[in-house]
């Protein structure tokens, strides 16, 4: 079991001013990160077209990890369809996908407009390298204290969620909110409307616009992750967030 007493201090250290900059500077010299980016660059330069590039595991590893979709590596069919779709199409694939990370990734790359040239663009590559370093840092944090990586992303993204469906459409927000509220993992098999009601009956979503409340919810989550409780025991320790 992770260190329950150390969960919140670990989160606050990760959020301390300068902590991220120091970690990213270190990871900029990390041999594994450097190797991944070199392999990515070589692959996109060699690829004759965009579809060939996106099928390459070296390209998927960097692009998807950097853009917050590490769990999608290997889902080549979805990668090809989603990342080349038009994110501005209100009736298109990206509007229909429940996982809104795909739309964010497509907007960041605009492969539908620029094609392979986008992946060869030094500015895009620099942005992907930055995203890869951040993802690697979050993985390191999770290895020392479960839940820290999600908690950091939650604090960045929470204000974008105005409805329960916004929460459910982002796997990180979903994990943090349901974990912090003590909802069982099995809730994912329920209809999305049922999941939404379970969240709104326990949490005033307006509080996601308040940085202090967001920070407290993140703390609930890391306590739950450290305790291996799914949120129930840890959530009781920080009252005041429930609607």
Q: What is the pTM of this model?
A: 0.86
Question: Domain of 197?
Answer: 146-235
Coil, helix or strand for 98?
coil
Token pair belonging to 36: 């991944």
Taking only the tens place, the pLDDT of each residue in 130-189 is 999 999 999 999 999 999 999 999 999 999 999 999 999 999 999 999 999 999 988 989
For residues 52 and 138, membership in a common domain is answered with yes
Residue 7 burial (C-beta neighbours within 10 Å; 0-12, 13-18, 19+): buried
For residues 166 and 118, membership in a common domain is answered with no
Domain containing residue 32: CATH number: 1.10.3700.10
Taking only the tens place, the pLDDT of each residue in 94-133 is 999 999 999 999 999 999 999 999 999 999 999 999 999 9
Q: Are 192 and 186 in contact (CB under 8 A)?
A: no
For residues 57 and 70, membership in a common domain is answered with yes
For residues 20 and 125, membership in a common domain is answered with yes
């Amino acid at each position: 079991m992770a260190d329950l007493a150390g969960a919140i201090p670990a989160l606050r250290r990760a959020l301390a001013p300068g902590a991220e900059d120091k970690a990213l500077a270190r990871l900029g010299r990390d041999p594994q990160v450097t190797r991944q980016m070199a392999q990515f660059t070589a692959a996109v330069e060699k690829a004759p077209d965009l579809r060939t590039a996106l099928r390459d595991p070296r390209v998927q590893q960097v692009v998807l990890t950097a853009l917050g979709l590490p769990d999608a590596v290997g889902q080549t069919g979805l990668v090809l369809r989603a990342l080349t779709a038009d994110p501005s199409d209100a009736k298109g694939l990206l509007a229909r996908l429940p996982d809104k990370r795909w739309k964010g990734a497509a907007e960041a790359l605009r492969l539908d407009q620029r094609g392979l040239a986008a992946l060869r663009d030094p500015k895009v590559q620099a942005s992907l390298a930055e995203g890869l370093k951040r993802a690697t840092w979050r993985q390191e944090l999770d290895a020392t204290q479960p839940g820290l990586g999600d908690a950091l992303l939650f604090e960045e993204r929470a204000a974008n969620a105005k409805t329960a469906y916004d929460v459910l459409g982002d796997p990180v927000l979903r994990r943090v909110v349901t974990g912090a509220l003590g909802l069982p993992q099995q809730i994912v098999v329920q209809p999305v409307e049922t999941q939404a009601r379970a969240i709104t009956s326990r949490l005033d979503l307006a509080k996601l616009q308040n940085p202090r409340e967001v920070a407290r919810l993140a703390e609930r989550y890391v306590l739950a992750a450290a305790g291996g409780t799914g949120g129930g025991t840890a959530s009781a320790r920080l009252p005041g967030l429930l609607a």
